[in-house]
Amino acid sequence: MKLSRIVGVGLLLSARLAFGLESDSEQPIYIDSNNAVYDEKSQVSTYTGNVVATQGSIRIDADQLVVYLKDGAITKLVATGKPSRFKQLPAEGKDEMHGEGLINEFYPDKNLLIFMKNASVWQGDAKQSSEYIEYDTKNSLLKAGESNSDGKRVHSVIQPKTKKAQ
């Protein structure tokens, strides 16, 4: 078993992410990477090199994943990559939700995902792209763009529903 898996499972087994299927938060978190470092004093785990983190239907792919803990519970995850990718199954029978960006932050206690720099979020045929996207997983609320975006635009694609043949 890789050191990163041992460290990740040992540190994060009781921690919960608040994203995805309701049963996802009851599943262990598995993290595979080329390298892992845990700083006990600062309660920060850093995983580097082809990082794959899974918990139930949730999957994060990144070049680096930094996990911030407080008293053994995850407070924030920061995934970076070219791009870093996230996917989840929000509910049975729903399309998977996908997101990517060069920097992605996840706040389990706030049910908040933030995708930054060349960010895109899509589910089924609907897609949002911007330099900054927030997704509230509890309320299914997506906000794209920033108030001080200096002329940067949000790009949205909404496909028409297909008509059923009669």
CA angle 72, 97, 26 (to 5 degrees): 35
Q: pTM for this structure?
A: 0.75
Res. 15 pLDDT band, cuts 50 70 90: very low
Q: What is the mean pLDDT of the chain?
A: 78
CATH T-level assignment (fold) for domain 28-144: lipopolysaccharide transport protein A fold (2.60.450)
pLDDT tens digits, 145-166: 765 656 566 666 666 666 666 6
Distance between CA atoms of residues 58 and 61, nearest Å = 10
- Domain map (residue ranges) of the chain: 28-144
d(CA 130, CA 159) in angstroms, rounded, equals 18
